[in-house]
Amino acid sequence: MIFEGRGSMGKIKVLMLGNHQSVKGGITSVIQQLLSYDWDSVGVEMNFIPTYIEASTAKKAIYYIGAYKNIKKFLKTDKPDVVHIHMSYKGSFYRKYAIHKLCQKNGIPDIIHLHGSEFEKWYNESNERTQNKIKTMLRECSAFIVLGEKWNAVINRIEPKTKTLVVSNTVHIPTYTVKWNDAKFQILFLGVLIKRKGVEDLIKAISLLKEKNQLSNLRFVIAGTGVEEEHLKKLANEQQVEQWIEFAGWTDGVAKEKYLKESQALVLPSYNEGLPIAVLEAISYGLPIIATDVGDMAAAVKNGQNGFLIQPRDIQALAEKIVQLYSDKENYMRMSCESKRIANEEFSDEKYFEQMRNCYLSAISNE
C-alpha cells in the first residue's frame, strides 16, 4: 500500500487523491502545495494516495486498479473523516466517479476539486448517460471546489443542486520582484505543450514581429514538454524565428524560479483554462501577463492594469500586445507593481489553507 502523509490521534483525518507527483502540470503543483503544508499544526492528519501516472494506457489502468484497491482498504480500516478528490475530465472523471461511489457506500463525505479546463466542453459533447453521471456526482458530493466565479456559474448551470465552493489557486509570495532589462526583454511561457495552450499562435505572433522588424531585444522561453513539442520546434524553424526562442523543456523547482526571475513577462495564449498556477506564480514575481480571456483568467489578469487579455487565436492582437508591453518602460513598471499587489492581496497562500480546513470541517459536520 502507498500512503503518503502524517498525523496522530484526535485530528481530522483527510484522504487526498490525485496525480502522482511525477505528473507534469498545474494539478500536480496544487497537490504538492497542499502536501507541503504543515497540516498537523492545524489539527489535520493528511494522507495521500496517488491514482494517476503518466504512462501507457495499460500501465495507467493497472496503476489505477492498484490505487483503487488501496483506497478501498483505507476507507474500511482507517476510516478517514473526509476524502479530497482532485479531478479533471474524461478519464479522470470516470476514475473519480468510481471512487465517489465508494465513498458513498462507506458513508464518508467527499470533496471534489475541479481542475479540468475543458470540463464544460466535454460535458456538452457527452452522451446523456455520461451527463447524468456527472450531474449525479455534482449533487451527491459534500462540496465541489471550483477555481473562480466563472466556473461556479458553469457548474451551477449543469447541476443547480451542486454545493459549490470557490477556492482560487494560490501561491507563496516571494520577496523577489522582477526587474526591467534594457538589453533583453524576455517573455516566458510555462506549461504543458499541448494544442489548447496556444503556443503555435505564440510562434506565429513572433513571426509577425519578425516581418515588421520588431524583435530587436526580445527573447522567448518556452518552458514545457508535451505532444506538441516537436511540431512547435519545426514550426519555429519553418518561420525562421528559432534564434529568438529557447525551448527549455520541463522546468520545476530551482530551474523554474530562475526563469521567473530572469523574465520580464509571461504569455499564456490558451484556448481554455481554469485559473492557471503559472499565471499566479508569474504575478507573485511581479511579471505582467499577456493571456487569453478564458476561464477565470480575469481574476488574476486585469486588462490594462497588470497585463493584457486578448481573445483566443487572435495572433495579431498577441503580437501587438507584446510590442505594447516592451516598448513602454514606465507603463511596464506600473504593471509589474500591480501584478505584485494583486498576488499579495488576492492570491497569497495565508488564507488558502484555512479555507481548505474549513471545507473539511463543513463536509464532516453536514454528514
DSSP 273-312: -SS-HHHHHHHHTT--EEEES-TTGGGT--BTTTEEEE-T
Instruction: Could you please state the CATH topology (level 3) that the domain comprising 4-170+349-365 is classified under.
Output: Rossmann fold (3.40.50)
C-alpha cell, 296: 477565470
Q: How far apart are CA 61 and CA 94, in angstroms?
A: 12
Q: How far apart are CA 112 and CA 141, in angstroms?
A: 7
Nearby residues of 157 by Cβ (< 8 Å), 6 or more positions away: none
Nearby residues of 41 by Cβ (< 8 Å), 6 or more positions away: none
Amino acid at 155: I
Q: In a structure prediction context, what are the per-residue pLDDT tens digits for the chain, which is 367 residues long?
A: 344 443 445 789 999 999 999 998 888 989 998 999 999 999 999 999 999 999 999 999 999 999 999 999 999 999 999 999 999 999 999 999 999 999 999 999 999 999 878 899 999 999 999 999 999 999 999 999 998 888 999 999 999 999 999 998 888 899 999 999 989 999 999 999 999 999 999 999 999 999 999 998 999 999 999 999 999 999 999 999 999 999 999 998 899 999 999 999 999 999 998 889 999 999 999 999 999 999 889 999 999 999 999 999 999 999 999 999 999 999 999 999 999 999 999 898 878 899 999 999 999 987 6
Burial class of residue 169, CB neighbours in 10 A (0-12, 13-18, 19+): buried
Give CATH 3.40.50.2000 domain extents, the chain: 4-170+349-365, 185-346
Kindly report, residue by residue over 137-162, the tens digit of the pLDDT: 999 999 999 988 889 999 999 999 99
Which of the four CATH numbers 3.90.1150.10, 3.40.50.12280, 3.40.50.2000, 3.70.10.10 does domain 185-346 have? Answer: 3.40.50.2000
Rounded alpha-carbon distances, angstroms, from residue 19 to 24, 31, 165, 211, 335: 9, 8, 22, 43, 35
Query: Does an H or E element contain 222, and which?
Result: strand 218-223
Residue 1's pLDDT is: 37
Kindly report, residue by residue over 12-44, the tens digit of the pLDDT: 999 999 999 999 888 898 999 899 999 999 999
Q: What pTM did the predictor assign?
A: 0.79
Three-state DSSP state, 40: helix
